[in-house]
Structure 1
Amino acid sequence: MFSRRRLLQAGAGAVPAIALGARPASAAVAEPLTTGVVPSAMAGFDKAMKTFITERDISCAQLAVAKNGKILLARGYGFYSKPGAPIVRVQPTSLFRVASLSKNITAAAIVRLVQDGKLTLGAKVASVLGLSTTADPRLANVTLWRLLQHLGGWDSSVSGDPLWNDYTISASLDAPLPISHADIIKYVTARKLDFDPGTKYAYSNYGYMLAGRIIEKVSGTSYESYVRQKLLAPAGITRPRLGRSLRSEAFSTEVTYASKYTHKSVVDQSGAVVPYPYGGFNMPNQDANGGWLASAVDLVKWGFVFNAAGPVLNATSISRIFAKPETGVTAGGSWYGLGWNVRDNNAGGLNTWHTGSMPGTYSFLARVQNGVSYCAIFNRREEEGTLDFDAIDPILGAAIGTVKTWPTTDLAPKYF
């Protein structure tokens, strides 16, 4: 359905370790424990997920499916445990790190500020944030449109991803770990862009991190508070929150994350080698580009915000979010809007989707033709290059065809 991109390119220095949070060996091939509701007419979705989970030895997962604004399936798969606590089954409402599914939240927050007359999408990022353009005058040409459509001039394949480059930035600035948003911005602003803004697409976590700082400056409140008050609460969604780095800081309903890799801690000066999902990267710094925790039902309901004008976004805002960029569409006919991948569908509308990936997380959210939407989240991602997690897209797409008659019972009252 779309061309994918690995979010994390900073894993080269990671070393294998025993997978934290992995399924016990005795349960590796067993059908996963489940919670939640799966109508019999939608058993094809459940069967597909169980096969996917078992093949990849995933210990925690979720799936939610909706049609025409009603949540019809909500499922938790597997279990997890925390030190000194009993084993817990994954619930449909358990919290997962969702990585870059955070980007459509951030883009919507910018558009909401525009809707409320606080900003324009043509505003220059350097002007709004007071960034120096001395190192590269082209920075003055980065608008909010370009920032959110990944046309800003930063290309991680050329200069690296500063959201995953803590040690280099710390050494360059002589700044102690953990580094801050301000440190990252200071480091990047002192360097040249990788291309002329507006001339090509290059996925940029840094661009979305900057968007978070714009939200804070213009709104006068924290990024998280603005999103929860102006976007999530009016949509009737209360569970999502920003994640934390360490396992000891996890929320009570948050799953554990699995990775075979370890990494030097970036959250302190100890130099300790830690499980990659727990201190190998700095979750607070990821906030606007990949820091949210949510459940699959939360994200499917969040997707309803983009169906039609409502208390969060008006029709103009929604059209802006899915507008084609100045660079046009890809050879495959898709484009990146504001926080969403987009393409025309066979029903005269738009398919919109996004993936998220970081050590210990893989997530996928899609809104497709005939009012169907779905979200799947897992507590690990592909690390060995054998079983592609991106395969969840065509697998869930095929499951739509197994539904002969769609149920009509809305599960939202059960989970919200």
Structure 2
Amino acid sequence: MTMLSRRNALKVAAGTVPALALGTLPARAASAPVTGVVPASLAVLDNVVKTYIAERTIDCAQLAVVKNGKLVLARGYGSYTSTATIGGQPVPSLVQPTSLFRIASLSKHITSAAILRLVQDGKLSLSAPVTTLLGLSTSGDTRLKDVTVLRLMQHLGGWDRNVSGDQLWLDHTISAVLDAPLPISHADIIEYATARPLDFAPGSKMIYSNYGYLLLGRIIEKVSGMSYEAYVKQKLLTPVGISRMMLGGSLRSEAPPSEVPYYSQYTNKTVLDGSGIVVPYPYGGFNMPNQDANGGWLASAVDLVKFAGVFDAAGPVLNSASIATMTAKPEIGISADGSWYGCGWYVRQVTGHLNTWHSGSMPGTYTYLARLQNGITYAALFNRREETGTLDYDVLSTRMNEAWSKVTTWPTTDLYSQYF
């Protein structure tokens, strides 16, 4: 830790860093406190994130980098007011490499891995229709019978959120149509969507669908006989030593002490419990429990890069056939830019390697995870996203890609033992 960051840490510990009101946008300078380990040879990567968060006044962030299976960088940036209290007072905290963030759509490769584990164990077929698995009616559209498990994972199911809306974000509409009380449930969302026609023929094109992953979560529960969260923890996370990850709650009061707060410019949202209370958008303006299989997980960056190692080689979670399915080209082929969507990952062939990546975004959250050539895997998590149209958050991957070429020496020390 630098002398500057040590002084900042002491200020936080002493409570002299003021608590931030939920719903306000915090201003943070590049001198925000930092935690964790950044070897000198990787300072260029650390500086990319420091510049990025300073430009966007992001006050909580993380970066974790793996090289050839070893954790070589683990960093937390910023501070926050914890949900924990001492003597009735909130506890100021530094963002640690193990602090928890909402990871949004980085949940999708986790859900896909859970599905493939069921297939691997002989409990599920990728060609099984969702109508059969979940007992869904085809009265809304007979083409629903053509929606298979694999098509759900590859976003080929037939739903286009630009046409019929994103079912995960239509709570008030669904409540009104079904005359169902808020908060609505997974079952309500499925009933609403099933009664409506698909937007295109299943398998004919790829259109990103959060709803498709909601259905995958219900399939996991139906086939396994366990809750979605319990199955993932037992079959995917525990075998590789990950214990921090959990599904998140909607309200700040539901957050564990190690979870950072989230900020959005959109504050005037009605809490989705039917009370009519106006809340900051990240805290009740949308339903986190309904997001579970699509975007509901909490994790740290070190958790995400460790779990990403599951896809590097056959192991206790997935065998080689399952890993191959994760990155296989879909029936529609590849896109014009040479990439395709596998199962919870975007994929691109480079010389001798398949690069896989994904981003995540919801009010108050932007995340990015990539597995690249040369044995590099990294995850970066932030507690804000672009909502004003003035700053491009997606430039992170371009800047990181440029930074790799400037690293001349990679550390050989493995930091995993410090965090697991």
Q: TM-score of the superposition, structure 2-length normalised? A: 0.92
Maintained 8 Å contact 2:271/2:279: no
Match of 1:394 among 370, 392, 398: 398
Maintained 8 Å contact 1:177/1:266: no
Match of 1:333 among 330, 338, 357: 338
Counterpart for residue 220 of structure 2: 215
Cα deviations by residue, 1:252-297 (Å, 9 ceiling, x for unpaired): 1100001111243343111221100000000000000000000000
Is 1:352 the counterpart of 2:353 in the alignment? no
Match of 1:126 among 131, 140, 154: 131
Counterpart for residue 299 of structure 1: 304
Maintained 8 Å contact 1:64/1:297: yes
Q: TM-score of the superposition, structure 1-length normalised? A: 0.93
| 3-state SS of 2:91 partner | coil
Is 1:180 the counterpart of 2:185 in the alignment? yes
Counterpart for residue 369 of structure 2: 365
Q: Root-mean-square deviation (CA), in Å?
A: 1.1
Q: 1-side partners of 2:415 and 2:194: how far apart?
A: 47
Q: 2-side partners of 1:257 and 1:375: how far apart?
A: 18
Gaps of 5+ in 1: 1-17
Counterpart for residue 66 of structure 1: 66
Maintained 8 Å contact 1:21/1:80: no
Q: CA deviation at 1:203?
A: 0.2
Q: 2-side partners of 1:396 and 1:237: how far apart?
A: 26
Give the 5 Å matches for 1:142-221.
142-221=147-226
Maintained 8 Å contact 2:314/2:320: yes
Q: 2-side partners of 1:311 and 1:235: how far apart?
A: 8
Cα deviations by residue, 1:3-24 (Å, 9 ceiling, x for unpaired): xxxxxxxxxxxxxxx863643x
| 3-state SS of 2:367 partner | strand
Q: 2-side partners of 1:343 and 1:96: how far apart?
A: 27
Maintained 8 Å contact 1:21/1:256: no
Maintained 8 Å contact 1:242/1:293: yes
1:198–1:263 Cα change, 3 Å: farther
Q: 1-side partners of 2:95 and 2:334: how far apart?
A: 39
Q: 2-side partners of 1:105 and 1:324: how far apart?
A: 19
Letter in 2 for 1:357: S
| 3-state SS of 1:203 partner | coil
Is 1:309 the counterpart of 2:317 in the alignment? no
Counterpart for residue 55 of structure 2: 55
Maintained 8 Å contact 2:23/2:281: no
Give the 5 Å matches for 1:237-316.
237-316=242-321
Cα deviations by residue, 1:137-157 (Å, 9 ceiling, x for unpaired): 000000111111000000001
| 3-state SS of 1:320 partner | helix
Maintained 8 Å contact 2:247/2:296: yes
Q: 2-side partners of 1:68 and 1:405: how far apart?
A: 13
Q: 1-side partners of 2:108 and 2:212: how far apart?
A: 10
Q: 2-side partners of 1:176 and 1:123: how far apart?
A: 33
Is 1:31 the counterpart of 2:9 in the alignment? no
Gaps of 5+ in 2: 1-20, 84-88
Letter in 2 for 1:388: D
Q: 1-side partners of 2:275 and 2:190: how far apart?
A: 24
1:131–1:321 Cα change, 3 Å: same
Q: 1-side partners of 2:192 and 2:55: how far apart?
A: 42
Is 1:20 the counterpart of 2:14 in the alignment? no
Q: CA deviation at 1:86?
A: 2.8
Letter in 2 for 1:174: D
Q: 2-side partners of 1:114 and 1:266: how far apart?
A: 38
Counterpart for residue 79 of structure 1: 79
Counterpart for residue 108 of structure 1: 113
Maintained 8 Å contact 2:30/2:53: no
Letter in 1 for 2:341: Y
Q: CA deviation at 1:135?
A: 1.2
| 3-state SS of 2:61 partner | strand
Counterpart for residue 342 of structure 1: 347
Letter in 2 for 1:169: I
Maintained 8 Å contact 1:138/1:197: yes
Match of 1:380 among 371, 380, 384: 384
Q: CA deviation at 1:313?
A: 0.2
Q: 1-side partners of 2:153 and 2:171: how far apart?
A: 23
Letter in 1 for 2:108: K
Q: CA deviation at 1:31?
A: 1.7
State the identity %: 66
| 3-state SS of 1:199 partner | coil
